[in-house]
Homo-oligomer: A and B are copies of this chain.
Amino acid sequence: MTSTTGRVVAALDGARLWAELHDLAQLGARTDGGVARLTLDDNDIQARLWLAEQAKAIGCQVRVDPIGNMFVHLPGTDPDLPPITTGSHLDSQPTGGKYDGAYGVLAGLAALRAFREAGVQPRHSLEVVSWTNEEGMRFAPGTSGSACFTGVRRKDETRALTDADGISFGEALDACLTRLGEAGIERCPLGTPMQTFIELHIEQGPILERQGAPTGIVTGIQGVGWFECEVRGTANHAGTTPRTARQDALEGACALAAALRNAACDDEDLLRFTIGRFQVFPGSVNTIPERTLFTIDLRHPDAGTLTELEARFQALAAQEWAGCTAALTPLSRIDPVAFPEVVTDVIAEAAAELGQNAPWLVSGAFHDAIHLAGHCPTGMIFIPCKGGISHHPSERIDANDAIEGARLLTATLCRLAM
């Protein structure tokens, strides 16, 4: 290990990080042990003020941009260079856990503190960002902060989103910005340049846990296609209609679903095929179903594979299924992102330096990093979570993994910023 990286990583206070994760989880704590810290609600604002206090204690400036993204800034020796930025998000699902998002922000803060403690000032400035509304639960869709920051979505569009009570994102944001202004937090513009963005996050899947690895290097975020499939048959009397006279839309849908599932069954187990919503009409015990409607969530790291499979799906849907017709409609498509080797290699070198077993894996879930990848060289680091469970109060991580992940982030920032 280089002496500088060694000093900074050695200065990382893992116990404090672990304690802070649980302190922060008090803001929006649920009685079931989970967290409900919804975008721009009072808990989210309290979390932002808490973040600002922590930053000031390290002697870092805190700024907020017009969509509410917060940046903790540790100046480098060369003020002309764009910053190396890390971070994630502080909002949660309504029945969320303590670590999804919060871990990446707090580990970034711990890394900045380690630089200060070690008395190391990097060449590039370091920044910790907390992106606004990653989860998209109070205001849908999510990743609002990173999407507006990178120009993927328009600010006025996002401000016009409303929650279930009719409150607009813009109203909620302005109230939050006023509170932050009163606390002396300055404003900064959207879309400022970054040298590199690194997001540290819990995996939300079982791969690292299965491999017994404390950290993982994310090679990219898989692409996703959403589809809706409608199967149309004929409603009829369950007691009087012979099998040979039926066009049963449930029988057809089950057969088509099995064929689609089979088509998406790859040896590498990289394809993710999920039918999550499946509705049968009219839904009466003694009536043969006339219509079944189901969704498909299809993911893969390679855009070509998604496109090929969509064509196979269309060919299957064009067949007759139990005498029924089917129609497959694409609902949305987001292409995969592959993180550049210039970033993943740095993370791999840092992991090797720390002696960590850090396997390469693809992110199955979305992250703000998907938008940042179009803005600057971007990478992600994962740590395992118990049973791959997230978006649930029972979301859990191991303290040692949390510390190893923060060490890998710190070592990576050292390599990128020095």
Contacts and interface: CB of A to CB of B under 8 A. Distances in A.
A50 interface: no
Interface residues of A, number: 58
Interface stretch (A80-88, A102-110, A253-261, A352-360): A253-261
Contact of A237 (B205, B240, B285, B286): B205
Contact of A254 (B254, B284, B391): B254
A154 B287 CA distance: 29
Contacts of A258: 254-255, 258
Interface of A: 203-207, 210, 222, 224, 226, 236-245, 248, 250-251, 254-255, 257-258, 261, 265, 269, 271-280, 283-289, 292, 295, 297, 299, 363-366, 388-391
B205 A224 contact: no
A213 to B, nearest CB: 15
A261 B251 contact: yes
B297 A238 contact: yes
**Listed residue (A203, A236, A257, A365) with the most chain B CB atoms within 10 angstroms of its CB:** A236
Copies per complex? 2
B238 A299 contact: yes
Nearest to A390: B237
A365 B237 contact: yes
B278 A278 contact: yes
* Most-contacted residue by chain B among A203, A238, A255, A295 (CB, 10 A): A238
19 contacts: A205-B237, A210-B245, A238-B272, A238-B274, A238-B297, A239-B299, A240-B363, A240-B364, A240-B388, A241-B272, A243-B265, A244-B269, A274-B288, A276-B280, A276-B283, A276-B289, A277-B280, A278-B289, A285-B297
